[in-house]
Structure 1
Amino acid sequence: MNDRSAHTHPWKISDVVMFPALAIAILAEYLIPTRIVPLTFWLLIPVGLAGVIAGLKLISASKTALEAQDQPSLPGEPTTQLVTDGPYRFSRNPNYLGAILMAFGMAIAANSLWFLLVATCAMLVLDRWMIRPEERYLHETFSQEYRDYAQRTRRWF
């Protein structure tokens, strides 16, 4: 078992990607307004809000699953057990998936192409900067157990 963690820097969390991305989208939308579809604001709000709520619930459920097995959700602490229940049955990264669902929900609610583009870029950054190193770490730590889990569970959804 590995004594190190996947991410040793306390700032290497999805918030460091998502909050600046959201700020960029807000600024871009303010400077150059866009629309994804020609629908009214009131029709898109419920759909977007549903995405935001689904994302929040997924993040909460993934943190609950980690806590139930006394596993860290923040960087710096080693993972001692592979968590494969709760939302981890369907996604290897439900925390990140929740953040992306929230971002896409905001894009729909705001009817903003900027939000949609920024959410897509944030998803790629999370995948390369956060998820890939975590997967390498889990593979090194749990070997065949992680390989089996990765074969039966999708990265995102």
Structure 2
Amino acid sequence: MPLLKSLDVPPFWLAVFLFLAWRLSFLAPGLGFPGPIPDLLAGFLVGGGLLLMVLAVQQMRRHKTTVHPHGESAALVQSGVFKRSRNPIYLGDMLLLAGLILWWDAVLALPLVPLFLWVIERRFVLPEEDRLRRKFRKQYAAYCNKVRRWI
């Protein structure tokens, strides 16, 4: 059971969804996104997603709090990218997934993006929000009123 618990982290779920998207790219090779625009957009999405994740991790490290989704937060981070999104790392994951789907011309994999969002929200976001709500009470309520969950 400890192995399963250690696998229940967002990078594992992202890897599963990326693998599925990559495999789906082979099912309909002629059904793709024509022209250079999708590749350009894919680059922006992948690069933006990675940048968002790096900036969020830097903010969390600066505030000396955990990046582990099952860990106990030492601080409520509200600066940097957290001024715009309460979940910038998960948002970065979604941008990365969407970008690679475009890059791989995996049209059939597009429904994986909202499915990934649903899994991440249920497995990680809602439990994290519950822990933050209990620990930081008024401060977290004010933060939720100022900053949206995603964008």
- Output the TM-score relative to the length of structure 1: 0.86
- Relative to structure 1, the CA distance from residue 78 to residue 34 in structure 2 (aligned partners, 3 Å threshold; closer, same or farther) is farther
- The within-5 A match list for 1:41-52 is 42-52=36-46
Q: 2: CA distance between counterparts of 1:82 and 1:34? A: 47
Q: 1: CA distance between counterparts of 2:78 and 2:26? A: 42
Helix, strand or coil for the counterpart of 2:96? helix
Give me the identity figure in percent. Answer: 23
Cα shift at 1:108: 2.2
Q: 2: CA distance between counterparts of 1:34 and 1:78? A: 47
Mark the runs of 5 or more structure 2 residues left unpaired by the alignment.
none
Q: After the TM superposition, which of the residue ranges 49-58 and 122-131 deviates more from structure 2? A: 122-131
Q: 2: CA distance between counterparts of 1:32 and 1:111? A: 9
Helix, strand or coil for the counterpart of 2:26? helix
Question: Is residue 147 from structure 1 mapped to residue 109 from structure 2 by the alignment?
Answer: no
Please point out which of 10, 13, 17 is paired with 1:14: 10
Q: Counterpart of 1:59 in structure 2: which amino acid?
A: M
Cα shift at 1:75: 4.1
- Relative to structure 1, the CA distance from residue 34 to residue 96 in structure 2 (aligned partners, 3 Å threshold; closer, same or farther) is farther
Q: 2: CA distance between counterparts of 1:147 and 1:34? A: 49
Structure 1 residue ranges, 4+ long, deviating more than 6 angstroms after superposition? none
2:46 and 2:95 in contact (8 A); partners too: yes
Which residue is equivalent to 1:66?
A: 60
Q: Counterpart of 1:149 in structure 2: which amino acid?
A: Y
Q: Counterpart of 2:77 in structure 1: which amino acid?
A: V
Which residue is equivalent to 1:124?
A: 118
Mark the runs of 5 or more structure 1 residues left unpaired by the alignment.
1-8
Alignment RMSD (CA, Å): 1.7
Q: Counterpart of 1:77 in structure 2: which amino acid?
A: G
Q: 2: CA distance between counterparts of 1:93 and 1:153? A: 10
Aligned length: 147
Cα shift at 1:34: 6.3
Q: 2: CA distance between counterparts of 1:85 and 1:67? A: 12
Q: 2: CA distance between counterparts of 1:13 and 1:146? A: 23
Cα shift at 1:28: 2.1
Question: Is residue 31 from structure 1 mapped to residue 21 from structure 2 by the alignment?
Answer: no
- Output the TM-score relative to the length of structure 2: 0.89
Which residue is equivalent to 2:88?
A: 94
